[in-house]
Amino acid sequence: MSVPRLLLFCFVALMSAHHLRAEPTPVAPDAGKNGRHAPEDPNVTFSSVHVAGPYIAVTFDDGPSDKLTPKLLDLLAAYHIKATFFVIGENVAEHPEIVERAAREGHEIGNHSWSHPSLTKISDDAVRRQLWRTDDAIRNATGARPTLLRPPYGSITARQKRWIHDEFGYQIILWDVDPYDWKRPGPSVVCNRILKETRPGSIVLSHDIHPGTIEAMPSTLDQLQAKGFKFVTVSELIRMAVPQPSQPSPGTRVSVPATISPSPSAIILLPASSTSH
């Protein structure tokens, strides 16, 4: 190859390499926005909490049950454990004495709507009525307003989170441990699922309206305590939050490829030289 042609080929290769380096990497739209742990509203919505010790919050939904919740309260008292109850307004109005007892014994009471609809399927005014009626029922039973909301089915939009937090002052509580006890798989399955999934800072979901859940609790609490876990209410867990260690951004690493191939569109076919080599 003659010297001019060799220089031209080197120039084309360098221009192609520059083109490859300068081309931006495409970013998928809405990346990372749909995950439960996406940090879109870290002071409003909690599925778990980053804490410095072995603290967890056990929560019970859909009560109070006139037959099962008192048994659970007896059990929690025997273990000296405080829990958080997300109650249905209709049930509170029917059994206010049970909610009053739970609050008097140091348990936290949260709003779980009046009749358990999916909040994403009803109007804003209907959501307000669901929450205010339950808020009033809890206040009448305990003397205090709730500060936590667990949306039925965990179903809530980002827009609803914002206006509910602004209007009611609620923090939105989800969970990271779900034994699916509402499917009534049996006490041993409920226990094993909770033990397998619970980590420091976990918010454990269960329901005090299913007999199997109440039956699962003695063994569950025994084994969680044996693992060293300590039980607090959800609000106490949130107040224990500590900053997570900062992670280096993946974008800060620069990798240099060993070789850079020119773009196919930039390759120029040169006529063969008449000079043999």
Q: What is the enclosing helix (H) or strand (E) of 88?
A: none
The secondary structure of 235-271 as a DSSP string is HHHHHT--PPPPPPPGGG-----S--PPPGGG--PPP
By CB atoms closer than 10 A (0-12, 13-18, 19+), residue 272 is exposed
User: Could you give the 3-state DSSP secondary structure of residue 58?
Assistant: strand
Furthest C-alpha separation in the chain: 103
Question: Is residue 112 among the annotated active site residues?
Answer: no
Task: Taking the CA atoms of 33, 36, 38 and 43 in sequence, report the sign of the dihedral they define.
Answer: positive
The CA distance from 254 to 273, in Å, is 40
Active site residue 207: yes
Taking the C-alpha atoms of residue 12 and residue 120, their distance in angstroms, rounded to an integer, is 58
3-state secondary structure of 137: helix
Q: Of residues 112, 207, 208, 210, which has the active-site annotation?
A: 207
Cα(221)–Cα(56) distance, rounded to whole angstroms? 12
Output phi, psi for 86, to 5 deg: -100, 105
For residues 56 and 229, the answer to whether their CB atoms sit within 8 Å is: yes
**What gap in Å lies between CA 107 and CA 40, rounded to an integer?**
29
In angstroms, rounded to a whole number, what is the distance separating the alpha carbons of residues 161 and 119? Answer: 11
> Could you say which of 61, 62, 135, 181 is catalytic?
61
Residue 87 parent element (H or E) = strand 84-87
Residues with catalytic function: 61, 207
